[in-house]
Structure 1
């Protein structure tokens, strides 16, 4: 009996030792996994995002944003990482939203105005650029499918060198407003009477001259089209092929017909006109 009790005791102690060994091994593996995860932790930084959808023209207030941790390596350009930069203490007024922002979207410098500014056209102009309004109608304005943010090629039609000419005078011109609308998030077509475009001063002068001396036609450029149209000029003669027809006709021959009884005599004479 004592022998059996001794064997059971030995077996129990062995099993207990084996269990302790297995637990220690698992604990060691767990500690190694934790250390590995600590090494793989991505450094983050504070980024301010909006807490609700905010549309064009709304004021951005402190209750509309919250601070979250964002991977430091992937912080969007122009994001606000400091509350004092987003809401300066010495600014008595709020920023205005220039583009619609969805919930949890980072607040970017390009999507809001400076404190106290409205969402007008002046806040969209790049350095050295000017805004110019051009008159359009249903035909010249691409049937109302233009919207702020689109790019257009501008064609001028008028008289030059005594003949009717259509010429490309400006390629990929940026539209910043349609009539009184500067919201790029509007999708519904608008029959515009004027469009406001962004251009350097020398091109503004050229467009103003073109508008006063002829008619303008706009051609919409595709969103993903990064090409720029080259110089294009079409005259009425080249459109109808008049010059080519004259060149192919050969020398001009003038004749006079005289009837003598039943006979008709054709005589070549010099051309006088």
Structure 2
């Protein structure tokens, strides 16, 4: 009797173990199906403007419920595409990070639509001691001599001519991951066509300075600039502007007989005629 009871317990344990194994296998299979989607990721850091090759990429399983929008499933879909922003190792390759199909590599691939790239010469002072790096935003200030007015000398003035301008590259480097200051001799800015014309005129009439601004500050402030007299608080005498005087109507002088006092006049009678002579 005892042997039969023990055998029954062993059989029950075997059934429970078998059920647990089947359940575990099903759970593992279910978990595997959740992460079955393939996503293309970078296996090394890719700098902006670089053309993608297969050696830079790999595919990994990504949870189906959290696949980012614009992700690719196969490496061949992104081969020879150009990245518009830097991509870090392990990061998914997304359509929004790529330049249009057919774009060649280089700085031109990262210029926004409708914008232009323009380079200006700088030094350690103009270039904000090398802190104006790719990806930063700057304002452009020009110091120039104003045109001379009539009767006045041209005034020296400093004025902000451009605001919130994106730095595309410093010297020949366009990477945006470095935060170490770099003193260079040239900075490339991203501008609209109209702003490019302003900048070209500004650098031809005066000296330029770059003013580094907070990356998230997008407010613009319209200033009138400042002259040397305003800087030192000198009082400027107001210049009297010529007033327009209405033309006076010509007056016609009407002759009137002059009546002199009796003490200065003499009555002369000659040949029967009388005349009054006044002195």
**Same fold per superposition (TM over 0.5):** yes
Checking the alignment, whether the CA contact within 8 Å between 2:57 and 2:75 is kept in structure 1 is no
Matches within 5 A, 1:172-211: 172-186=164-178, 189-211=181-203
Partner of 1:238: 230
2:82 and 2:231 map into 1 onto residues whose CA distance is 50
3-state SS of 1:81 partner: coil
Residue 59 of structure 2, aligned match among 41, 58, 67: 67
Partner of 1:260: none
**Superposition deviation, residue 86 in structure 1:** 1.8
Matches within 5 A, 1:140-219: 140-160=126-146, 162-186=154-178, 189-219=181-211
Structure label with greater radius of gyration: 2
Partner of 2:15: 24
CA offsets, 1:19-69, max 9 Å, x none? 333443454455455555666653542222334455667654324422222
1:221 aligns with 2:207: no
Question: How big is the alpha-carbon RMSD for the aligned residues of Structure 1 and Structure 2?
Answer: 3.5
Change (3 A) 1:53 1:200: closer
Change (3 A) 1:55 1:207: closer
**Superposition deviation, residue 212 in structure 1:** 2.0
3-state SS of 2:230 partner: helix
Q: Report which of the two has the higher share of helix.
A: 1
Between stretches 71-80 and 33-42, larger displacement belongs to: 33-42
TM-score (norm 1): 0.66
Matches within 5 A, 1:5-44: 10-32=1-23, 35=26, 42-44=34-36
Between stretches 102-111 and 192-201, larger displacement belongs to: 102-111
1:77 and 1:239 map into 2 onto residues whose CA distance is 54
1:158 and 1:52 map into 2 onto residues whose CA distance is 48
Checking the alignment, whether the CA contact within 8 Å between 1:99 and 1:185 is kept in structure 2 is no
Checking the alignment, whether the CA contact within 8 Å between 1:120 and 1:182 is kept in structure 2 is no
CA offsets, 1:180-200, max 9 Å, x none? 332334555433222111111
Between stretches 60-69 and 50-59, larger displacement belongs to: 50-59
Unpaired runs of 5+ residues, structure 2, are 148-153, 238-279
Checking the alignment, whether the CA contact within 8 Å between 1:113 and 1:119 is kept in structure 2 is no
Partner of 1:129: 115
Unpaired runs of 5+ residues, structure 1, are 1-9, 88-93, 247-273
TM-score (norm 2): 0.65
Checking the alignment, whether the CA contact within 8 Å between 1:49 and 1:67 is kept in structure 2 is yes
3-state SS of 2:34 partner: coil
3-state SS of 2:161 partner: strand
Alignment size in residue pairs: 229
Q: Report which of the two has the higher share of strand.
A: 1
